[in-house]
Amino acid sequence: MSSSKSGRIIRRIGAFHAKNLTKDAYKTLPTHELLQALGFVKQSQSGLVHWLPLGLKSLNKISEVIKKHMDQDLGASEVSLSTLSARKLWEKTGRWGNTELFKLKDAKKADYCLNPTCEEEITALVGGYVSSYKDLPLIAYQITRKYRDERRPRGGLLRGREFLMKDAYSFDASKADAVATFDRVNKCYDGIFQDLGVPFVSAWADSGDIGGDMSKEYHYEHESGEDTVLKCDNCGSISNVEKCSSVPVEEGLHSGNADVKYALNACGDTLICLYYPEGRTLNWNLVKEALQEDVDVSMRDSDNLTILDKFKSTLSEDSELFASVVRVMDVRLNSRSNFPDFPLKQYMKSNFAQLGGVSLVDAIAGEICGSCQEGNLSEARTIEVGHSFYLGQKYSKVMKAKYMNKDNKDDFLEMGCYGIGVSRLVAAIGQVTRDKQGLRWPRAASPFEVTVCVPAPDERGTEVAEQLCNSSIDVWIDEDARTGLGRKVLQSHATGIPLCVAVGSKQWPFVDVEVRGERRANSWEQRYAQASRDEWTLTDQTDAGIEKHRVHKDRVAEVVTVLLADM
Ligand SMILES: [Zn+2]
């Protein structure tokens, strides 16, 4: 990636920076504690943090990568909406009842919430400005703090009650245009996550509470992740478990007990009996697909008795005989499976419809991919860092956000919404890239590109730092006389800064450039081969296995630029 526009020298992280952590702490502290111990953030309350200089620098770097792509790839307009939102807006969309909303009252006892997301506000806002199809498409985004009254805040920044989020909203004139925008934003997201320098996967996903019928998630693979995706080794499809269909290696092999879940069809006059292997999890997306959407999923969490009572209440006593029933069999079951008793006492089997050969349960590793019917599925634990949704007219209809179409008729706006958890990314990148020596930022997310370490403030350190700065490199100069040079270098590595330049008096006018960052390419080797060994030598690795270059002070900016280009 290109270097930042202008380099800066930061001299003082000051009291916020960690001192005298043991090597063992770098290795063993959980990442959210390491981020605190090294002075990136400070937790103030459960789920709330203060951002300290190092953490804020990382946060801003990540924000810049996102902004660059939103502006250049999409021509999106940056806005910043009010954090407070009035109750009446949220009542229109039926979301005021959300138990995770942070709610508050003003002096006149009017209700507000702290925005967790801004579909309501942005739809009201844009609806007031867009009048014609000629104003479309429109994409607006912001990077602002959001709030969620998380009952069980966990993992510090990963699941906080206050978080920095990039949220974007698209407005189009037709479904086809909206889907094209959805694809365009996903391409933009690919660019953002590529630039951030950490391998990612994107997965088709269930859209959950936000609605719509097309959504994609962006994840980092890591064993500590709370999410699971399933990957096919043949077609390469990656899905969230809610969206993954699978088939067993052989059909009808489940010989144990079958479980049943009752449901009603959309108009409530047909009982649907969903049979699936005991111990597996019913997947409502697959159920909807099997029944071609003719199922009332609002009762999915009601127990079987409640659903049965509701169904029976539609029948008179003698009409039980003619009750309309659909039995749906998961493909893993067979006729010898042990089925639970049928709930209606008298019934006529001729009124039963039976549907078989469909998969009704969450996919598990080892089964066959439902998309290509060939590959094997494997599971990976992941941390979700981004999400995109096609929303359709879900919000524009209830908010009455209209525009004039080409036929001079009013129509509702077609929408999409797109989130990236920016503060979550700091935690997630920190987590997936760290090693036993501490943090290890990719260049794009690192608070600084280079640390210049000097034993105490002196001209040599300033000369090197200024050279680097003049070459548009972001420099942190650590010259605190209370800490020895070796300790400073160790701290720079543990803080995860990609390069560290140690300026000691013994080897001057040479300096040592140590490489902590992970390389994504090896273009430096060619430049190294061409350079004079009198000015640039690769020396032995340090005891900690860190690559070390001895470089003449007049070449340091050039060498650092070459080394950074691969990171
Ligand atoms: Zn496949």
Omega cis (within 30) before 137:
yes
Place of tokens 């209370």: 482
| Tokens at 113, concatenated | 């919430």
Give yes or no for a contact between 461 and 553, defined as CB atoms under 8 angstroms apart. no
* 3-state class (DSSP) for residue 310: helix
Per-residue confidence (pLDDT) for residue 340, from 0 to 100: 86
Q: Does 50 lie in the same domain as 30? A: no
* pLDDT for position 207: 54
- Report the separation in Å between the CA atom of 435 and the middle of ligand 1, taken as the mean of its atom positions: 33
pLDDT of 2: 41
CA–CA dist 386, 489 (Å, integer)? 34
**C-alpha closest to that of 518 among 474, 446, 567, 563:** 567
User: Does residue 375 form part of some domain?
Assistant: no
Distance, C-alpha 506 to centroid of its chain: 47
Domain end (from 429, 458, 487): 429
Interatomic CA distance for residues 481 and 486, integer angstroms: 12
CA of 7 to the centre of ligand 1 (A): 47
Domain contains 78 = yes
Print pLDDT tens along the chain (567 aa).
444 445 777 777 777 777 678 889 999 999 999 999 999 999 998 899 999 999 999 999 999 999 999 999 999 999 999 999 999 999 999 999 998 999 999 999 999 999 999 999 999 999 999 999 999 999 999 999 999 998 887 767 888 899 999 999 999 999 999 999 999 999 999 999 999 999 999 988 765 554 456 889 999 999 999 888 999 999 888 888 888 889 998 887 777 899 999 999 998 889 999 999 999 999 998 999 899 989 998 888 899 999 999 988 888 766 777 788 999 999 999 888 888 887 777 667 777 888 988 999 999 999 999 888 999 999 999 999 999 999 999 999 999 999 999 999 999 999 999 999 999 999 999 999 999 999 999 999 999 999 999 999 999 999 999 999 999 999 999 998 888 999 999 999 999 999 999 999 999 999 999 999 999 999 999 999 999 999 999 998 888 889 999 999 999 999 999 999 999
CATH assignment at residue 72: 3.30.930.10
- Read off the CATH number of the domain in which 514 is found: 3.40.50.800
Q: Are residues 522 and 549 in the same domain?
A: yes
Distance 372 CA to ligand 1 centre (A): 4
- Phi, psi values for residue 29, rounded to 5°: -65, 135
* C-alpha 234 – ligand 1 centre gap (Å): 5
- Do 255 and 183 share a structural domain? no
User: Does 16 share its domain with 76?
Assistant: no
Q: How far does the centroid of ligand 1 lie from the alpha carbon of residue 247, in Å?
A: 11
Which two three-digit tokens encode residue 494?
């543990």
Q: Could you tell me if 394 and 533 lie in one domain?
A: no
Same domain, 131 and 50: yes
DSSP lists the bridge partners of residue 103 as 113
Q: Find the length of the chain.
A: 567
H helix and E strand count, the chain: 14, 29
**What pLDDT score does 485 carry?**
94
Ligand 1 centroid, distance to 238 Cα (angstroms): 9
453 plus 553 within the same structural domain: yes
CA of 191 to the centre of ligand 1 (A): 25
418-464 residue pLDDT tens: 999 999 999 999 999 999 999 999 999 999 999 999 999 999 999 99
For ligand 1, the distance from its centroid to the CA atom of residue 239, given in whole angstroms, is 10
Six-digit token string for 145: 């703090």
| Structure confidence at residue 19 (pLDDT) | 65
- Say yes or no: 345 and 263 in one domain: yes
Neighbours of ion ligand 1 (CB under 5 A): 232, 234-235, 369, 371-372, 375
pLDDT, tens only, 463-512: 999 999 999 999 999 998 888 999 999 999 999 999 999 999 999 999 99
Say how many Å lie between the CA of residue 204 and the centre of ligand 1. Answer: 13
CA–centroid distance, residue 231 to ligand 1 (Å): 8
Task: State residue 342's pLDDT score.
Answer: 79
Q: Is residue 236 part of a domain?
A: no
Indicate whether 510 belongs to any domain. Answer: yes
User: 64 lies in a domain?
Assistant: yes
406 shares its domain with 463: no
368 Cα–ligand 1 center, Å: 8
Taking the CA atoms of the chain, what radius of gyration do you get in angstroms?
29
Q: Which residue has the tokens 């942005």?
A: 122
Q: DSSP for 473-528, please give it.
A: --EEEE--TTS-HHHHHHHHHHHT-SEEEE--TTTTTEEEEEE-SPPS--THHHHH
State the residue range of the domain holding 23.
9-38+448-564
**Would you report the helix, strand and coil content of the chain in percent, each value rounded to 5?**
30, 30, 40
How many angstroms is it from 359 CA to the middle of ligand 1?
15
Count of structural domains, the chain:
3
